[in-house]
Amino acid sequence: MTFDDDKDKGIFQALSSLVFPKICIYCQNEFASLCLNCQQLWLASIQRRYVKGLAVNSTLAYNVASSRVVIQAKENRNRIAQYWMASALSAALEKFESDNPALSISRSLLVPIPSSKSAIRRRGESFLHPILDKLVELQMNKNGVRWRWKELLIHHKMVRDQSELSYTARQSNMAGAFRLRSDDLVMERPILLIDDVLTTGATLYSAFWALRERNLTVLGAATVCASAHRLLIR
């Protein structure tokens, strides 16, 4: 590359930053992909909630700012949003290890909540897959430990969009929603469920139940965000 090429590239990048400035995806105030203040907020203290006995670790409260990041990762495949969601999941999972030295994430299997067929058609893939790939990469770079994930669950029935459903309606909507893939009925590793947001817990509990029906061990679940609505913090 010549000096002129470097110069042209620099001018292009400068002009691009003026036309498309980087705005913090969390607060949308600072000129950074995720500003320093929001980085501290993003990796907050882990909170544990229980969904009918299932321990769920979450890093963030679900609010307007955190939902903005989740939507960017879900609908726009924003790599910055995916990175920070992976970081939040990493912190939530590591909390299980710090609370219980006998538990090892590297000897467990991370199992994501599956996307619906319609969502996969719309997005091209399950939105959690690139986030989980980034999570594995983060752990390898951090301490050389390899975490493993696998899509074990599939949708067993049609479910409605839960965003407008009441607590009771969500429980009914998700009851019996998942089943195991036919070729994955026997797994030796204990399981940790992964999802983006915990609200009523109906989705995670349905997944938990599908795994327990096959006598698989489920240690808990990790999510990026959680709503305190109807959930007990312990």
Reported as a single tens digit per residue, the pLDDT across 101-125 is 999 999 999 999 987 666 656 766 7
Question: Does the pLDDT value for residue 22 go beyond 90?
Answer: no
Torsions phi, psi of 134, nearest 5?
-65, -40
Supply the pLDDT for residue 133: 97
Supply the pLDDT for residue 226: 93
Supply the pLDDT for residue 18: 38
Q: In 10 A of CB 10, how many CB atoms?
A: 10
- Over range 219-224, report the average pLDDT: 97
> Is residue 157 exposed (0-12), middle (13-18) or buried (19+ Cβ within 10 Å)?
exposed
Supply the pLDDT for residue 8: 53
Domain boundaries, the chain: 1-42, 45-226
Please tell me the distance from the alpha carbon of residue 214 to that of residue 187, in angstroms, as a whole number. Answer: 10
* Residue with token string 């590359």: 1
Please give the residue that has the higher pLDDT: either 4 or 80: 80
Would you call 56 helix, strand, or coil by DSSP?
Answer: strand
Considering only 19-23, 54-58, 78-82, 196-200, which range has the smallest mean pLDDT? 19-23
- Level-2 CATH architecture, domain 45-226: 3-Layer(aba) Sandwich (3.40)
> Is residue 120 exposed (0-12), middle (13-18) or buried (19+ Cβ within 10 Å)?
middle
* pTM for the full predicted model: 0.79
